[in-house]
Structure 1
Amino acid sequence: MIANVERKQAPPRVSGTSGSIGRMVVRFVIYAFSLFLILGPISSLVIWSFAEKWFWPHTLPQQWGLLYWSRVFDGKMLHSLSLSFGIAFLVTLISIVLCLPLSYLIARYKIPGKSILLLIFLLPQAFPQLPVFTNAMVLMYKWDLVGTLTGVTLIHLVGALVFSVWTMVSVFQNISVSLEEAAVNLGASRLQTFFTVTLPLALPGIIASSLLVFLYSLDEFTGSLLIGAPFLTTMPVFMYNSAMGYEMQTASVTGLLLMLPGIILLLLMQRFMKSEYMAAFGRV
């Protein structure tokens, strides 16, 4: 009886509570530090974009306003923005047309040297971009493609095809072959099976691959600078020229405008990209 009373009066254990509080504190510190690393540079861009006068040693701008936003939209930036979106859309469309049948063949059929073929598509990303694009520029000078829309589109395709092929191959590998065989056994042709069975199942992965290619082309800088400038100035090149001229407000506005489509498209890609596709990525 006395032992039962002593057990009831024993103080509660608090080690579990203190441990959970400690873990919460550690998580809070990690999250706060991560937000600082992400939002710190972005907040600097936002401040610079609205700063009309900002001189040392003032911590914040002395004068705020929309002067540089209006200047950017009234100047050459709007043309650069439309040019970047047009090139990105064109590169994405060409990548789908070229890579869709090729990726299906690589994923479904035993092609001799399949691994070597995929490695060839990966080679442009295996080396620094500057020497790769410089050698490509020499060839384009011979073909009179430097400073043209065709040349910039081709130099974007050098890197875009890598993302497109490897992603689409993993998408088709994730679709069960038995579904296609069942459609063929029911009397459908191979072409009908592809358009009625395989393509609808692969559509989310194709959309995710297209968004990835679009983002790559929209943010591509080195090839656009070497092949397009000064005749064709895309948004990344425009931002680079502004920063090199110490036009911090213009460069900040351009950076924000270039960043917003990327955030939206990445959220869309997260919706369409399934974990099964990433599990099959690179499997040949």
Structure 2
Amino acid sequence: MNTITSKERYTEKTTLTKLPIMRMTGKIILYVLAIFIIFGPLSSLFIWSFAEEWFYPNPFPTDWGLSYWKRALEGNMVQAFGLSFGIAIIVTILALVLTVPLAYLIARNRLPLKYIILIIFLLPQAFPQLPVFTNTMRLMYQWDLVGTISGLTLIHLVGALVFSVWTLVSVFQSIAIPLEEASYMLGAGKVYTFFHIVLPMALPGIIAAALLVFLYSLDEFTGSLLIGAPFQITMPVFMYNASTGYEMQIASVTAVLLMIPGIILLLLLQKFMKSEYLSAFGRV
């Protein structure tokens, strides 16, 4: 008959006590590493934006100040900031107007070409953006749209429609069909059911799609550079021009101003993007 000594009981009890502490320590280490990996590179942007003088081998700036913030806010950056936000708003509205009814039709009807339609909307993101936008630029030169706000809006829509269509299809697929059938049985028509039953239920998903489109348009660079510059300068293009001119402080200020609305909108996106939308994503 085996007997457990007091020493063995003590060792087992000590081991069980240490396990939660070891797990907690491991989680803390992982969190610290994640924070360092995510916010480490971003911290240099904040440092550069307030650096008046920073030369190697100094680990931190030798002179701090707000002069570059003042220069950036008094220069052309304000105009670029307003242009980026204005185009992002226009692109978001147009994308929703075009894709909400289309996504509903794809989600609710057995269209013979629904797979082809979705693939067509996915094609701009399936290939490298540079050749796609270069070929588009050639067409826009023929239509005199290069260097115009209309041209920028159209080139942003090329990618924005992808996010909008695929997100909204999954949103409408997550809404139970019997709810619409119940509305029909009570005498409501399809138009009334769509606007009074389907749209209110799909509103969080529509807001999530709008935030995705807005973020895409706000940060779009390749098309903005090829189609808009040098006459229409958006914030990403302004930041690129500043960085290529070795104006690190101005580029950092621009990056910080672009990053702040992005973080806010991503937090809002997390609130409106539901798990059932993600489970239906890509299912047609």
Question: TM-score normalised by the shorter chain: which range applies?
Answer: over 0.9
Match in the other structure for 1:152: 152
Structure 1 residues 10 and 129: alpha-carbon distance in aligned structure 2, compared to 1, 3 A threshold = closer
Runs of 4+ in 1 over 3 A off after TM superposition: 6-10
| Counterpart-to-counterpart distance in 2, 1:64 and 1:275 | 45
**Which residue number in structure 1 is paired with residue 257 of structure 2?**
257
> Which aligned pairs between 1:81-160 and structure 2 lie closer than 5 A?
81-160=81-160
Give the 5 Å matches for 1:163-174.
163-174=163-174
Q: Structure 2 CA distance, aligned partners of 1:18 and 1:96?
A: 55
Distance (whole Å) between structure 2 residues aligned to residue 17 and residue 248 of structure 1: 51
- Residue 227 of structure 1 corresponds to 227
Counterpart in 2 of 1:283? 283
Matches of 1:258 and 1:39, distance apart in 2: 15
Q: Which amino acid aligns with 1:169?
A: V
Residues 51-91 of structure 1 deviation map (CA, whole Å, 9 limit, x = unaligned): 11112222211111100001100000000000000000000
Distance across 2 between alignment mates of 1:278 and 1:120: 21
How far has the Cα of 1:16 moved from its partner? 2.1
Seen in structure 2, the aligned counterparts of structure 1 residues 7 and 81 have a Cα distance that, compared at 3 Å, is: same
Residue type of the partner of 1:259? M
- Alpha-carbon deviations, 1:219-261, whole Å to 9, x = none? 0000000000000000000000000000000000000000000
In structure 2, distance between residues paired with 1:51 and 1:181: 63
SS in 2 for 1:13: helix
- Cα displacement (A) at 1:162: 0.2
Distance in 1 (alpha carbons) for counterparts of 2:113 and 2:213: 25
Other structure's SS at 2:13 match: coil
- Percentage of identical aligned residues: 64
Instruction: Determine the C-alpha separation between the residues in 2 that align with 1:216 and 1:40.
Output: 24
Corresponding residue of 2:246: 246
Q: For the residues of structure 1 that align with 2:111 and 2:232, how far apart are their CA atoms?
A: 40
* Alignment correspondent of 1:207: 207
RMSD over aligned Cα atoms: 1.5
Corresponding letter in the other structure for 2:168: M
**Kindly tell me: are residues 176 and 65 of structure 1, through their superposed partners in 2, closer, same or farther at Cα, counting changes over 3 Å?**
same
Asked if residue 25 in structure 1 is aligned to residue 25 in structure 2, the reply is yes
Extract unaligned runs of 5+ from structure 1: none
Tell me the distance in 2 between the aligned counterparts of 1:268 and 1:168.
17
Q: Who is 2:69 aligned against?
A: 69
For residues 9 and 146 of structure 1, what CA distance do their matches in structure 2 show?
80
- Deviation larger for 34-43 or 272-281: 34-43
Cα offsets for 1:183-232 (capped at 9, x unmatched): 11101111000011000000000000000000000000000000000000
Normalised TM-score (structure 1): 0.96
CA distance in 2, matches of 1:270, 1:222: 27
Quote the Cα distance in structure 1 between the aligned partners of 2:217 and 2:240.
16
Q: Secondary structure of 2:52's partner?
A: strand
What number of residue pairs does the alignment pair up?
281
| SS of 2:254 mapped into structure 1 | helix
2: CA distance, partners of 1:170 / 1:250: 41
Q: Please say if 1:195 is aligned against 2:200.
A: no
Q: Hey, what does 1:16 align to over in structure 2?
A: 16
* TM-score normalised by L of structure 2: 0.96
5+ residue gaps, structure 2, are: none
1:8, distance to aligned residue in structure 2 (A): 11
Task: State the alpha-carbon separation in 1 of the partners of residues 276 and 244 from structure 2.
Answer: 43
